[in-house]
Structure 1
Amino acid sequence: MIEVDIKNIKEEESGSEEDEVTEENGSPGPEIDGIFKSAVYLKTGLAVSLNKEYLLHMAAKFGNTDCNIAVSQSDLLCNVYSVDNHFKTIYTIPKADDTIVNLRFATDNDNLLYTGSADCKIKLWDLRENGKCVSEFTDKSGKKLTSFDVSCNERFICGGTGVLDADSFLLFWDVRSTKLLGGYWDSHSGDVTQVCFHPSVQDTLATGSTDGLINIFDISQPTESEALNQTLNTESSVDKVSWHYIENNQLISCITHTEDLQLWQQDGVSPKRIFTRNELACSLKINEENLYLAGIHHLNDSELMVLAGSVATNKKMKCLRSAIVSCKNLRPLTSYNENQQIVRCSCYNQGTGSLITGGEGGLLNLWVPSQTDEEVHTKLKVTNKIKHKNKPY
């Protein structure tokens, strides 16, 4: 185990660049601190590898006494970490044969982890048996898996695919038998980018696609045409879709590939609210051309939190910030001043207010609410475990 002072990492990465503060600089300043008033500090950081494999997907299981996260890397590896034990590696899942497209813990069992890869293989791992694969769900027709999810009652798995011979597919498996039950292929004309079961209504499924459509299905119905309850047209290309319940409304959030955020009611004919890239950039004090949306999380029972950053090439300008989202407006929340990477995955613990991020720098970071000035200025030690040699794609 190698401990590296975060200050030295910053100096090495910054090279000969001049030390200047701009609105996108991660360094704290009176103007930024005055806008983003919810202070956090970087409690724990892990550099997964100095070769900086991208950290692409993350799943979390928040328990009463501890928290475990599963994280997939661009070199096809997946590790499970103990957050409360300084990101200690608990399990390493055997290397996948293709790009990992999603991770998901079982709803009622912290020891069961689903992983899905682009070769249309979804595997269920039992972490109690040293990461043994106990079930496998496959399709051997040549389709490329792009996303998957598991229903809240753990009965069904749905996987979305890219376009193959002019069709994209939603495939369904029985969790208990692992049998492929069938699929839908008439509802989307582009790559399926997101498959998302409702968190509490077992047969309700939302899917998003590059065709710009969000489709809502009742999968208890016998045919695809009967199952399709609603089609929401974003007039864009859908990147991420999530279910939410805020302000006494059941909402669906959509992050588009043009970095807009849309909020929809399930039966809406138009968005309840659209936050354009320009609006988000103005609220978060990020250059519009550089802004990217990293995710959206439940902040509390009535509000959402959108996470955004900058893709500026200057390594000192990879800021990460958040804003409170309601159906009416955006309100600046937090500036994560020590962030050094483009964030690709994140999990938020609503109970503790802590945020875990991973990204293109190969860094896992745990951000927690600041309690004292001493904590804000605590020197961070980043633990580096050098295990993997492959470079990120």
Structure 2
Amino acid sequence: MDATDMDVEDQPQSSSISFKRFGLKNYVQTNFGDDYVFQIVPKNDWTSMAVSLSTNAVKLYSPVTGQYYGECKGHSETINHIAFSGPSNPNVLHSCSSDGTIRAWDTRTLQQVSLISAGSSQEIFSFSFGGSTDNLLSAGCKSQILFWDWRNKKQVACLEESHVDDVTQVHFVPNHKNKLVSASVDGLICIFDTDGDINDDDHLESVINVETSIGKLGFFGESYQKLWCLTHIETLSIWDWRDARSEANFSDARLLASNSWSQDHVDYFVDCHYSGEGERLWVVGGTNEGSLGYFPVNYKEGGGIGSAEAVLEGGHTGVVRSVLAMIEDIKSGAEQSQGIFGWTGGEDGRLSCWLSDHSSDTNRSWISSELVVKSPKTRKKNRLQPY
């Protein structure tokens, strides 16, 4: 297994604004061949992290020691979304797939423990648990939002009039268990109240028109009242979902980020990261060669995208698909989990670990390649294209 080690140091930019360049601790080649890393998510207590791959499997690692725990296999098509269960079921991992199923896995035994099927003709792109008892499961499908009672696996509702294209995101709002936000390729964000018998006519509260296909969204703010929204054409917008009010729209977000980053041109955005301390929001942009930058987003007072405050480069050779940050305040480089800044995964099949300090063990290898590669006999031959 190859490994590259770099120190963390402040680097000057032509604009005289310094940023922190984070060191590459090590990287793990998850498979032979051209398989993608899709998503990296942490367990609630950070004792493990799950990594979805284009092999239709999910692998488990320790985010601190890098130990490989094993994999969960069962999906027959692309895994579109993974998430650990809440504190009441800390060892349960959920996944949804284009095979039309949502599965639950016991991460101690790596065995499937539950399955819900939306039908072989459906593709499930996203799911979320919420409702008054946290047992209401919502799922975004082709142009529908489906609901089940997770306790008995019975479907309780189907919303099919609010969207006219693939529903890429469904999220129950944190601290608002009965509020569901959905987003679609049709460019609409819909906000629903899921109390009672759910239907399109009575439970659709408001609609936000982003006007282009929506890839990802997330909540932030003291009471999670704000939304950030990234589209498939790399625009960024900020909204207050409670009154469907636009707070900022960056239709030229890539250009703004590129102009404030002298190293490379930003080709795409991966995610957004929010820190409650100082109420700061960053958009994470990347290059086709694998470099990443954390760009601060000023969505107040006219708005703007500032110079990169963290740069991660040298860890990937292709497009990065997922970022898992393990610190709260990027600018200060706060130490957490033995100086680990976080993990990234991409289309080169690598998991890269990044350091936020001058740790004494930067020259130590973490993971034996024999633990993480799969047999060449089962190697996936065709490269999976992004959604």
- Give TM-score, length-normalised by structure 1: 0.82
| 1:121-158 Cα shifts (integer Å, max 9, x gaps) | 10111123x12222211122622212212227531111
State the identity %. 25
Letter matched to residue 76 of structure 1: N
Q: In structure 1, what is the equivalent of residue 180 of structure 2?
A: 205
Aligned mates of 2:228, 2:241 — CA distance in 1: 10
Report the counterpart of residue 12 of structure 1 in structure 2. none
Q: Which residue of 2 aligns with 1:323?
A: 295
Which structure's relative contact order is higher, taking Cα pairs within 8 Å and 6+ residues apart?
Answer: 1
Superposed CA deviations along residues 249-282 of structure 1, whole A, max 9, x for unmatched, are 7201100111011100014455201223222322
Greater per-residue helix proportion: 1
Change (3 A) 1:161 1:337: same
* Distance in 2 between residues matched to 1:103 and 1:282, nearest whole Å: 34
Structure 2: give runs of 5+ residues left out of the alignment: 329-335
3-state SS of paired residue (1:67) = coil
**1:307 deviation in Å?**
0.8
**Is the contact between residue 146 and residue 192 of structure 1 (CA under 8 Å) also seen in structure 2?**
yes
Give the partner amino acid of 1:4. D
Deviation at 1:50, TM superposition (A): 3.3
Instruction: Name the residue aligned to 2:154.
Output: 179
| 1:272 aligned partner | 247
- Measure the CA separation in 1 of the matches of 2:163 and 2:146: 13
Q: 2-side partners of 1:227 and 1:233: how far apart? A: 18
- Once the two structures are overlaid, the 10-residue window that deviates more, 48-57 or 185-194, is 48-57
Count of aligned pairs between the two proteins: 353
Structure 1 residue 115 corresponds to structure 2 residue 95: yes
**Change beyond 3 A, Cα 1:114–1:269:** closer
SS in 2 for 1:390: coil
User: Given the alignment, which residue of 27, 45, 52 partners 2:34?
Assistant: 52
- Partner SS for 1:281: helix
Deviations 1:210-238 (A, max 9, x none): 11111111111432222111101111211
CA RMSD of aligned residues (A): 2.6
The one of 51, 63, 85 equivalent to 2:65 is 85
Distance in 2 (CA, whole Å) between partners of 1:36 and 1:345 is: 25
Assess if the C-alpha contact under 8 Å between 1:79 and 1:91 holds in 2: yes
In structure 2, the CA distance between the partners of 1:271 and 1:380, relative to structure 1 (3 Å rule), is farther
Preserved contact between residue 11 and residue 21 of structure 2 (Cα < 8 Å): no
Whole-Å separation in 1 of the counterparts to 2:190 and 2:357: 41
Distance 1:283 1:221 in 2: 49
Distance 2:53 2:2 in 1: 22
Which residue of 1 is the match for residue 280 of structure 2?
Answer: 303
Q: The residue matched to 2:48 in structure 1 has which SS?
A: strand
What code does the residue aligned with 1:105 have? F
Structure 1 contact 193–210 (Cα < 8 Å) conserved: yes
1:307-333 Cα distance to aligned partner (Å, 9 max, x none): 11012xxxxx43211112232333321
Give the Cα separation in 1 of the matches to 2:83 and 2:127. Answer: 9
* Residue of structure 2 in register with 1:4 after alignment: 2
